[in-house]
Each structure stands twice: as C-alpha cells, then as structure tokens.
C-alpha cells in the first residue's frame, strides 16, 4: 500500500459526514465482515459513506493516494469483491433508502439497500421488480451483474427494468446514466458490474405483483430425480411467463412438512412462484406435482415478500461458500447423469446444485441491448458448495469443481457474472461474449487507469 500520512487521514475524517473506520478501531472487525467467510482481506480503512459527497471524497482519496479501492453494497458477493487488502473500502451499507412512487411505478433506491428493504417498501403498494431470491442480497451488486429472480420470466432481467442511475466516476464526477444521457455508461452498468464507477442511486420500473402470490415447494426422493428432470425440461417449454419453477438437488432440510425420516436424505425440490391470479395457482402448478411422487409439499397462497425470504435460512452469513456456474439452454441427459453422481457424493450437508429457470422475457431482449449478453440462457445453474470448517475447504471446493467440469460439455459456455468466484478472472470475457469489446471501450473512457478493479475486472485498453 502507498503510505498515507496521518494528517491526510485526519483531513479525510473531517471532510466526511459518514465514518472512517481504521484497523485499530474497536468496530473494525465487525464492519469488515462480509457474507462469505472464505474471504479474508484486511483493508487499511473503511469509509462508511453517508451520501454522495462522501463517495466522491472517497474516490478522490483513493485516486490521489494510489490506494487499492473496493466498493461494498450489501456485501453478499460470492467473490468477496467488497474487500481489498491495504486499501480503502467504500462502504455504502448505510445508504439504504428505498422510495416508491406508486403513481409513476418507480423505485428510487440507494446502493446499501437489500432486497428485503426493497420488497418491504414496494409491496406496500403491490409493486415489484425482478430481484434475486434472498432478502439479504444487496440490490446494487445484484443489479450491476444483470440480476434475475422469481418474476424474471414475466418482466425480464433486473437490468431490463433499470431506468436510470447516478454514477460517481473515477474522476469524481456525478453522472446521470439513462437512455437519454451518458447512454454508453448506462448500457455498460446494465450487467458490466462495478467496473465503471460507484452507483449512488438506482431508478427502477415497477410492476403490479402480489401482494399475494401462489407457490411453494414440492419435494421428491432422489431416486425419482432423473424422471422428474426429464418431465421438468419438457414442461418448462410450455410454462406461462408468470410461473417460475426452479429445481434444487440437496439433502432435505428439516422442514416441518417433511417426514422426519426424509430429513438429511438426498432429494429433488421444485420451488415455484406463480404471480397470476392466486385462484388459478393450484392448476398452474398442478403439472409439477406429476413429475414424481412427492414425499412432501407445501403449496398455497403467500405474501410475495415472504416467498422472497423463503431461502434466507439456507444462505445466512458467516459460512464458507464456493460456487461454480454454467448457463444452460437445456438440461441434457448427460448432464443429468453427472448431476446424480455428484449429489451421491455431497461433501457437506449444506451443498446443493440448482437450476434457476429464467428464459421467456429474459430471452426476448436483443443481446446488444445491455451489457448482460446471455439472452439464450434458459437455466442459470449454480453449484453451491457451503460448509463451516476450513479443514474441509479442499474437499468441498474439489466437489464443486468436479461437477462444473463434468457439466461443461452440456453448457452454453457463458456464465452469470454474479456467480463467479474470485479466481475466475479468465472467464470474464465468457460472461459478456459479443459485448466484451464494447465494454472494454466504455471502461477505457470512464476508468482508463482501472481504479475500479476489485471486481470481475474488465481491463481498459490502455
């Protein structure tokens, strides 16, 4: 790290409205904590910003003092890019306002807000936009990487619903990015991650969803998984846009609707959300129940905000996590063979493999419309290895990598950037495909010296 004088640090403290946290401060360890316990980095300082002025000051301080710079939103990113060693972290977690305009159907969201905060405000008016599946995820990071959720089949990717954003650039300018202003920057932040600046405000289009939806879980034993997946892929072709069905393979959690003798046994779970009229819910999901003979199911009307939180217990912070991911056009027979072999060898009770069904509206947007380019993806497959003890690192990481390799011949070759781990920099071009060179050009314009490099980095041309 470049040496920063104590007087410069004191001057920074006096110039901000937020809080500058240093390693010697009693709350440093708490503030440094992020979701993935695998990540161990020690920044020189963490600036907890209170507003745009603090963000501009932090960017200038990093640039002028040649410090590594990381940006933290919700701190949920698998790669741990919210932290850097020996540099400055711009911590946006205190900037978490969510304002809803129910008349214009717009949401104005600060970068520290979580999905749970967004849903709490938007669902008060029966409104939503496609955002993730875990309420503790940060809106900012999810959006900048593309973003999808339970209602993406109906309303597209998160970035397809982004109307504008305020961005602090490497030069410290605050720019409005939209279809009418700084169009190249607006194009790039819709999927290009945090490569181009710090977004201090997001404006989203909202849609009428809920507040009640129909959905839940249908659980089948693993010995039925092959037939169930074959039926699932056939049914998926005809599913309406307002139905999303994900397939998850893992050991059964101790859910109250499952018999005790099923707990801890390998199962396939179909998780579904139907946003049409709830009276039509039972018929909309009826076909899923015919994929096999369920050992348990929990289906019914529920608040959309509650469904958005349903998987929170499986994604709590503080565990060790390692992911590998592929985008898929279909679930081929050979992939099913490899999948079942992998589930037979789970290295930890918390490991799982899921197929996040998107398609429909996400595929109707031209590849060139946004930086997110994977419009041919029908399923975003994630191999989620999760465990508690560092002694199990090699075994759990090895399991994820082995299935990733076995699945590669059946995948599209692209990847959802938010599912990439820290060592996957070589896959960044795969994440953007035909849009990569244009992203390099935008990066070269707005961040020619690569100040924003603690991310899935798009390197400037120079």
DSSP one-letter string for 60-98:
HHHHHTT--EEEESSS--TT-TT--SSSEEEE-TT---E
Mean pLDDT of 74-86: 93
Mean pLDDT of 42-63: 98
**Burial (CB count within 10 angstroms: exposed 0-12, middle 13-18, buried 19+), residue 256:** exposed
Q: Does residue 3 have a pLDDT over 90?
A: no
Residue 175 tokens read as 């720019």
Q: Does residue 389 have a pLDDT over 70?
A: yes
Report the chain's mean pLDDT, rounded to a whole number: 97
Q: If DSSP codes are grouped into helix, strand and coil, which group holds residue 439?
A: helix
Q: Does residue 455 have a pLDDT over 90?
A: yes
Mean pLDDT of 236-242: 96
Mean pLDDT of 374-386: 98
Residues 6+ apart with CB under 8 A from 194: 71, 81, 141, 144, 452, 455
Share of the chain above pLDDT 90, in %: 97
Residue 161 tokens read as 């619903």
Domain-wise residue ranges, the chain: 6-91, 98-209, 212-419
What gap in Å lies between CA 264 and CA 356, rounded to an integer? 23
Q: For domain 6-91, is the CATH number 3.30.470.10? A: no
Domain 98-209 shares a fold with domain 212-419:
no
Mean pLDDT of 178-204: 98
Which class in CATH covers the domain with range 98-209?
alpha beta
Torsion angle of the four alpha carbons 185, 187, 192, 195, in this order, in degrees rounded to the nearest 10: 0
Mean pLDDT of 40-55: 97
What gap in Å lies between CA 458 and CA 167, rounded to an integer? 17
Looking at CATH, the fold of the domain delimited by 212-419 is given as: Vanillyl-alcohol Oxidase; Chain A, domain 3 (3.40.462)
């Amino acid at each position: 790290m470049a040496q920063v004088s104590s007087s410069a640090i004191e001057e920074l403290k006096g110039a901000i409205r937020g809080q500058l946290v240093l390693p010697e401060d009693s709350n440093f360890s708490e503030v440094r904590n992020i979701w993935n316990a695998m990540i161990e980095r020690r920044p020189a300082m963490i600036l907890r910003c209170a507003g745009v002025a603090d963000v501009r000051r932090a960017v200038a301080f990093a640039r002028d003092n040649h410090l590594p710079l990381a940006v933290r939103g919700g701190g949920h990113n698998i790669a741990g890019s919210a932290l850097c060693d020996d540099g400055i972290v711009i911590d946006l977690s205190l900037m978490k306002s969510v304002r809803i305009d129910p008349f214009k159907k717009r949401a104005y969201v600060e970068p520290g807000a979580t999905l749970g905060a967004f849903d709490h405000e938007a669902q008060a008016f029966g409104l939503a936009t496609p955002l993730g599946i875990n309420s503790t995820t940060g809106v900012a990071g999810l959006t900048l990487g593309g973003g999808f959720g339970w209602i993406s089949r109906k309303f597209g990717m998160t970035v397809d619903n982004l109307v504008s954003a305020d961005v602090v650039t490497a030069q410290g300018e605050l720019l409005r990015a939209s279809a009418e202003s700084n169009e190249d920057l607006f194009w790039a932040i819709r999927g290009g991650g945090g490569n181009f600046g710090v977004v201090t405000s997001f404006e989203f289009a909202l849609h009428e969803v809920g507040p009640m939806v129909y959905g839940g879980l249908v659980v089948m034993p693993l010995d039925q998984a092959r037939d169930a997946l074959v039926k699932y892929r056939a049914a998926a072709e005809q599913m309406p846009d307002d139905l999303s069905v994900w397939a998850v393979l893992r050991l059964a959690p101790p859910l109250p609707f499952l018999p005790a003798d099923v707990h801890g046994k390998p199962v396939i779970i179909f998780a579904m959300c139907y946003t049409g009229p709830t009276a039509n819910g039972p018929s909309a999901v009826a076909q899923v129940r015919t994929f096999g003979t369920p050992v348990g199911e929990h289906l019914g009307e529920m608040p959309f905000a509650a469904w958005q939180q349903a998987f929170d217990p499986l994604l709590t912070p503080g565990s060790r996590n390692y992911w590998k991911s592929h985008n898929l056009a279909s679930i081929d027979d050979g992939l099913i063979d490899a999948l079942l072999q992998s589930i037979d060898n789970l290295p930890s009770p918390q490991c799982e493999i899921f197929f996040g069904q998107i398609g429909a509206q996400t595929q109707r947007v031209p590849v060139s419309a946004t930086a997110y380019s994977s419009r041919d993806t029908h399923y975003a497959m994630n191999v989620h290895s999760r465990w508690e003890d560092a002694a199990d690192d090699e075994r759990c990481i090895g399991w994820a990598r082995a299935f990733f390799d076995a699945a590669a011949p059946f995948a599209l070759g692209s990847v959802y950037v938010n599912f990439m781990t820290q060592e996957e920099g070589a896959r960044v071009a795969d994440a953007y495909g035909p849009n990569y060179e244009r992203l390099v050009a935008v990066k070269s314009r707005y961040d020619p010296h690569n100040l924003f490099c603690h991310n899935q980095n798009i390197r400037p041309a120079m």
